Amino acid sequence: MAGRLSRTKIRALLIGPAAAVIGIFVVIPLMLMAWISIQGRDYSGGVIWGELSGEAYLRMIFERELDDSLAVNFNYVLIILRSVWLSFLTTVISLLVGFPTALFMATRTPKWKAILVFMVTLPFWTNLLVRNYAWILLLRDHGAINGTLSWLGIISEPLPLLHTQLAVAIGLTYSFLPFMVLPIYASLEKMDLRLVESAFDLYATRLMTLRRIIIPLAVPGIVAGCILVFVPSLGAYVTPELLGGGKTLMIGNLIGLQFGAARNWPFGAALGILLLALVMISLTFYALKLKNTGGNTQ
Amino acid sequence: MRDNTDNIAISVRGVSKIFDEGVNAFVALDNVSLDIGSNEFFTLLGPSGCGKTTLLRLIAGFEQPSQGQILLNGENLEQLPPFKRPVNTVFQNYALFPHMTIAQNIAFGLEMLGRPRQEINSTVDEMLELVQMKALADRRITQISGGQQQRVALARALAPKPKVLLLDEPLSALDLQLRKDMQIELKRLQLETGITFIFVTHDQEEALTMSDRIAVMQGGHILQIGSPRDIYEHPQHRFVAGFIGEINLLRATTGKATPEGLELRLGEMRGLEAKAKKQVSSGAKLTLAIRPERILLAGQDKEPLTGKLTNVVYHGTDTLYHFDLPDGQAMRARRQNSDKTGPEWKIGDTISWSAKPDSIAVLED
């Protein structure tokens, strides 16, 4: 009896720290965010605690006129759609660049693999802000790209590169590319290269081997990479701020604005919940996809 | 080598393969030549690192020879990538596609060749029948046992009806009983399909039981090519004798020529004769090879040669007798336990023995 009791205690003690971490860092902040999103708005910032209101969620689609009637306002929907579109674009570009990179890396000798993985992770060693500023230097009107092109005589007027959706997509791709390369590399690296030989042996050309053997076996890595690029892109703040020049707002910037200049905490929190919902949807998609492919490569 | 050039499937001519040119150069194959007949079950036998797998990979097209040529039905295979060679491989660990079903694996080669769907389906059915896997056609590779994977690998490689099937130690991952069953199965498949099989193994028993001919390899060279019986009974090389089966290797000196061939002396002891193939001068030192089961054992003074028993090991079907010769060389002799009451020789007893001239091989070192 005593032994049984102490076992329960031991279990509680063992689970305790993990539960505390999840509680303090995940559950409580999320509850707080959800709670704030349904509170009344304090116009000087913060919320009126205890005053329940659905105003923040209405505001995503409707605008309250002076006479208190609701009018449809698609401005915020547009920003949300733009966020999804830019994240999607980023994911596609990352995949197109990242897959060949990962395939190249996975087929090197062990020594070169280690060096290449190190090189892929190298950008993480510097600050994200600094790296985005570097792109400003490259993309601006008299920056490296426009400078080179006009020096070569290809263009006479500088191309409008900075402060465009393209600039944001390039910046996001650059920031999150390692998250695409590494999972794909991991799934390709453990693939048995004899499968490729085996496909060659069975009359498959290089292209066919890529299509029928290599890509299907890399699907778990591809899906993981897409999620890891899409999700943080959706909530990106720094890159659209710097490279979009305030013209190309994404959800992250909109949320930042609500807690800052706009002083609309409930709306900011509601947008946070929406972002969470979008992420959950893509993760559910990921889980279903994994289930369909059997969830393994071996 | 075979004389009838019309029936040669694969002809390897002066092929060398050197990996990592320069300081780290490693010669995997050194000027190897051999002809393999069509419908032949040909085995490349040797220890790991002897070059047998390299030779197989050269035939498959995964590697290119540094020197020499490989011909298939008289046509030079040089520059042909693996996917253009009518040759299929059964890989050591099968290399089956894990994301496909058994039927999809078998159909893969046919699909790549662009065969019509109807033909693919009927060939897949035929192959499933051949390897007795029909009931499992829609299972995934991860859901079947090693022995079943082996059969699928065979079916997949046979489905495109290649001119030559290459098998790279395909049985090494199976347990003993399954391996023995598969040996019989492989031989049956080869006879039924009439395809040339080139089989790579380090297992001498596997080589002896299945092959029409065996090439014994060591250090990038082919030491001897012959039928299993030929290789076992008449090894020409010390390594071949030692690698295949159990054998006694004895240092001997030559005596005078006899009507049978050549008299041999083991130390001071006389009474052994071999069939001499070439002229050897009297008093020359050489190595003899005698299989343990070819030694005739008898009680003291019944046979011309003597030995002192050092160990007796009972094996059920036979008994292995270890004994020392007067000059100190150790020998083993195997004796069938054909009746219950065999001789009750004990350790320390002196026994007598002999061997027939045609049981003795005189070896090159």
Q: Write the pLDDT tens digit of every residue in A163-189.
A: 888 899 999 999 999 999 999 999 999
Give me the half-sphere count of Cα atoms (radius 13 Å) on the Cβ side of residue B223: 25
Q: Is residue B261 part of a domain?
A: yes
Q: What is the CATH number of the domain that holds B305?
A: 2.40.50.140
The whole-number pLDDT of residue B115 equals: 94
The whole-number pLDDT of residue A298 equals: 37
The whole-number pLDDT of residue B346 equals: 86
Indicate whether B256 and B194 sit together in one domain: no
Q: Is B41 exposed, middle or buried (0-12, 13-18, 19+ CB in 10 A)?
A: buried
Q: Is residue A95 part of a domain?
A: yes
Indicate whether B113 and B253 sit together in one domain: no
Number of domains in chain A: 2
C-alpha distances (whole Å) from B249 to each of A106, A176, A214, B312, B353 are 50, 69, 52, 19, 16
Q: Is residue A37 part of a domain?
A: yes
Indicate whether B228 and B292 sit together in one domain: no
Q: What is the CATH number of the domain that holds A269?
A: 1.10.3720.10
Q: Is residue A94 part of a domain?
A: yes
Has residue A102 got a pLDDT over 70? yes
Residue B265 lies in domain: 246-363
Please identify, among A72, A106, A128, the residue that sits at the C-terminal boundary of a domain: A72
For residue A171, give the nearest of A257, A94, A101, A272 by alpha carbon: A94
Tokens representing residue B297 in the block: 């054992």
List Cβ<8 Å contacts ≥24 apart for B276-282. B276/B362, B277/B362, B280/B254, B280/B362, B281/B254, B282/B254, B282/B255, B282/B256
How are strands ordered across the β-sheet holding B318-324? B296-298, B350-354, B305-314, B318-324, B330-336
Has residue A271 got a pLDDT over 90? yes
pLDDT, tens digit, 9 for 90 and up, residues B231-251: 998 888 889 988 888 899 988
Tokens representing residue B20 in the block: 């990592």
pLDDT band at A296 (very low <50, low <70, confident <90, very high): very low
The whole-number pLDDT of residue B278 equals: 64
Tokens representing residue B198 in the block: 């080139």
Has residue B281 got a pLDDT over 80? no
**Which chain B residue lies closest to A220 (C-alpha atoms)?**
B99
Minimum distance, in Å, between the CA of residue A225 and any CA atom of chain B: 20
Indicate whether A43 and A164 sit together in one domain: no
The whole-number pLDDT of residue B316 equals: 85
CB-CB neighbours of A87 under 10 Å: 25
d(CA A22, CA B181): 57
Has residue A240 got a pLDDT over 80? yes
d(CA A248, CA A240): 6
CB-CB neighbours of B336 under 10 Å: 10
**Which chain A residue lies closest to B87 (C-alpha atoms)?**
A201
Residue A17 lies in domain: 2-72
Q: What are the residues whose beta carbons fall under 8 Å from the beta carbon of A194, sequence distance 6 or more? A: B91, B93, B95
pLDDT, tens digit, 9 for 90 and up, residues B20-41: 877 788 899 999 999 999 899 9
Q: Is residue B311 part of a domain?
A: yes
Indicate whether A80 and A68 sit together in one domain: no
In a mutagenesis test of the A interface, which of B96, B99, B127 is the best target, namely the one with the most A β-carbons within 10 Å?
B99
Q: Is residue A298 part of a domain?
A: no
The whole-number pLDDT of residue A96 equals: 96
Q: Tokens 């559910």 identify what position? A: A284
For residue A286, give the nearest of A150, A138, A183 by alpha carbon: A183
- Under DSSP, the state recorded for B295 is P
- Under DSSP, the state recorded for B328 is S
- Taken in order A134, A139, A141, A142, the sign of the CA dihedral is positive
H or E element in which residue B283 lies: none
Q: Are B33 and B13 in contact (CB under 8 A)?
A: yes
Partners of A195 on chain B (C-beta within 8 Å) are: 95, 97-98
pLDDT band at B365 (very low <50, low <70, confident <90, very high): low
The whole-number pLDDT of residue B356 equals: 87
Start-to-end CA distance of chain B, whole Å, equals 22
Q: Is residue A41 part of a domain?
A: yes
Please identify, among B184, B202, B234, the residue that sits at the C-terminal boundary of a domain: B234
Q: Is residue B239 part of a domain?
A: no
Has residue B5 got a pLDDT over 60? no
B142 contacts chain A (CB < 8 A): yes
Has residue A294 got a pLDDT over 60? no
pLDDT band at A297 (very low <50, low <70, confident <90, very high): very low
Indicate whether B158 and B25 sit together in one domain: yes
Please identify, among B206, B234, B262, the residue that sits at the C-terminal boundary of a domain: B234
pLDDT, tens digit, 9 for 90 and up, residues A49-100: 888 888 888 888 888 887 888 888 888 999 999 999 999 999 999 999 999 9
The whole-number pLDDT of residue B100 equals: 93
Please identify, among A27, A51, A72, the residue that sits at the C-terminal boundary of a domain: A72
**Which chain B residue lies closest to A294 (C-alpha atoms)?**
B99
Indicate whether A83 and A32 sit together in one domain: no
Please identify, among A72, A97, A124, the residue that sits at the C-terminal boundary of a domain: A72
The whole-number pLDDT of residue B6 equals: 61
Tokens representing residue A65 in the block: 């006129």
ipTM value, please give it. Answer: 0.81
The whole-number pLDDT of residue A5 equals: 67
Has residue A40 got a pLDDT over 90? no
Q: Is residue A264 part of a domain?
A: yes
Please state which of the ranges A105-119, A146-160, A282-296 shows the lowest mean pLDDT: A282-296
Number of domains in chain B: 2
pLDDT, tens digit, 9 for 90 and up, residues B297-343: 888 877 888 899 999 998 888 899 999 998 889 999 998 888 777 77
Indicate whether A64 and A174 sit together in one domain: no
A215 contacts chain B (CB < 8 A): no
Tokens representing residue A200 in the block: 């060659």
Q: Is residue B241 part of a domain?
A: no
